[in-house]
A and B are shown apart, each in its own frame.
Chain A
């Protein structure tokens, strides 16, 4: 697979962004996700944001997980 972790975009300068992961900050390229905005969480893989995390979908999944657990 490919290691990718969620990172929060703090600032954007052209195609480069600065992201924060629990206090760790680093520059990343937004060449693959040009629509990313400050405040978005992106999946970070080898210094590139490969997708923007869909927070609404994340909530839906959490809801689904809770429903499935409670349906037992």
Chain B
């Protein structure tokens, strides 16, 4: 096989066939191996269905790569509705010239992450486009999952008095990716937090029936997720600045480039709104999972200031935490 992906690999001919054949062993399962036009399967109950495209640049970053990110992102989106993720589709748009070795690395990472999350890739597609028509590789993954009986998770469910929990340090992913960006290069001792959270979520759901809302604070960061909770429930949210967990190095990078960690992307974090009476039980359960060991209560839902997120500052004052606007750009002032 060539060492670079060529346009011909997407032509539908012999090279395409060879390329797909080379994927298959990595992702093999009976449904995928049939290579029919669609995957056919039975499912019953309430289903959750989601899709997301991944265009991260750079495609390899400390703690992950675009493949791991894509699987985690879709698995986590399903998990945040309380669903047990089962099946994924996998679609590549590849810019010609991508080293085959890079594609292999991404595939292995997809395989490992899917295995960890216990999900199967049952259908897929590959297209190759001209140089300049894509940025090395884009991935789209759709996912389907089953929502267990009695589970009702929605941002609108938050009630005054509920506690807000986050499962660890915020901002790791966004800053890890930033550290690799051309022109900004810096060394960061913290990898991306990119991780599949379905295991953690199922343990949380088993521990309590009173989990109201779950959301993964990806792009837009924790601030955006909390604003979603406030807006969709029509209640207010209060968080405490000194309880927000941020790794020292991530904080330092934020200070360096003028970012607020509340607005930085995470890929292995969830924010949960839970009934106050179950908060400690849920927290204890979360701490037993490797992706929840640093879980902490950061605030609560209140009846006042509906739709708004307010932060009590370390000095004892309070301020609004609004939605972020636009792309985060390093700034000098």
Asked if B333 contacts A23 (CB within 8 A), the reply is no
A3-B252 contact given A23-B188, A24-B187, A26-B187, CB 8 Å threshold: no
Interface check B253, CB cutoff 8 A: yes
Asked if B258 contacts A23 (CB within 8 A), the reply is no
Asked if A5 contacts B256 (CB within 8 A), the reply is yes
Interface check A35, CB cutoff 8 A: no
Q: Mark A24-54, 1 if CB is under 8 A from B, else 0.
A: 1110000000000000000011100000000
Q: Which of A1, A23, A26 contacts B185 (CB 8 A)?
A: A26
CA distance A8 to B175 in the complex (A): 20
CA distance A25 to B255 in the complex (A): 13
Within 8 A of B (CB), among A2-21: 2-3, 5, 21
Asked if A3 contacts B186 (CB within 8 A), the reply is no
Interface check A22, CB cutoff 8 A: yes
CA distance A22 to B253 in the complex (A): 9
CA distance A46 to B189 in the complex (A): 21
A22-B249 contact given A2-B332, A3-B331, CB 8 Å threshold: yes
Asked if A24 contacts B249 (CB within 8 A), the reply is yes
Asked if B333 contacts A26 (CB within 8 A), the reply is no
Interface check B293, CB cutoff 8 A: no
Within 8 A of A (CB), among B189-211: 189-190
Asked if A22 contacts B252 (CB within 8 A), the reply is yes
Give the nearest-CB partner of A2 in chain B.
Answer: B333
Interface check B305, CB cutoff 8 A: no
Interface check B248, CB cutoff 8 A: yes
A3-B332 contact given A23-B189, A25-B187, A26-B186, CB 8 Å threshold: yes
- Kindly provide the distance from the CB of A7 to the nearest chain B CB, expressed in whole angstroms: 8
Q: Which of B185, B186, B332 contacts A46 (CB 8 A)?
A: B332
Q: What chain A residues lie within 8 Å of B189 (beta carbons)?
A: 23-24
CA distance A3 to B189 in the complex (A): 23
Within 8 A of A (CB), among B141-192: 185-190
Q: What chain B residues lie within 8 Å of A22 (beta carbons)?
A: 248-249, 251-252
Q: What chain A residues lie within 8 Å of B258 (beta carbons)?
A: 3
CA distance A44 to B257 in the complex (A): 11
CA distance A26 to B181 in the complex (A): 13
CA distance A48 to B186 in the complex (A): 14
Asked if A24 contacts B186 (CB within 8 A), the reply is yes
Within 8 A of A (CB), among B247-284: 248-249, 251-253, 255-258
- Kindly provide the distance from the CB of A10 to the nearest chain B CB, expressed in whole angstroms: 11
CA distance A21 to B179 in the complex (A): 14
Q: Which of B185, B249, B251, B333 contacts A3 (CB 8 A)?
A: B333
- Kindly provide the distance from the CB of A34 to the nearest chain B CB, expressed in whole angstroms: 22
Give the nearest-CB partner of A46 in chain B.
Answer: B332
CA distance A2 to B186 in the complex (A): 20
Q: What chain A residues lie within 8 Å of B253 (beta carbons)?
A: 21, 24
24 contacts between A and B (CB under 8 A): A3-B256, A3-B257, A3-B258, A5-B255, A21-B253, A21-B255, A21-B256, A22-B249, A22-B252, A23-B188, A23-B189, A23-B248, A23-B252, A24-B186, A24-B187, A24-B252, A24-B253, A24-B256, A25-B186, A26-B186, A26-B187, A26-B256, A44-B256, A45-B332
Beyond the given pairs A3-B256, A3-B258, 4 more chain A to chain B contacts, judged by CB atoms under 8 angstroms and listed by A's residue number, are A21-B252, A24-B186, A24-B256, A25-B186
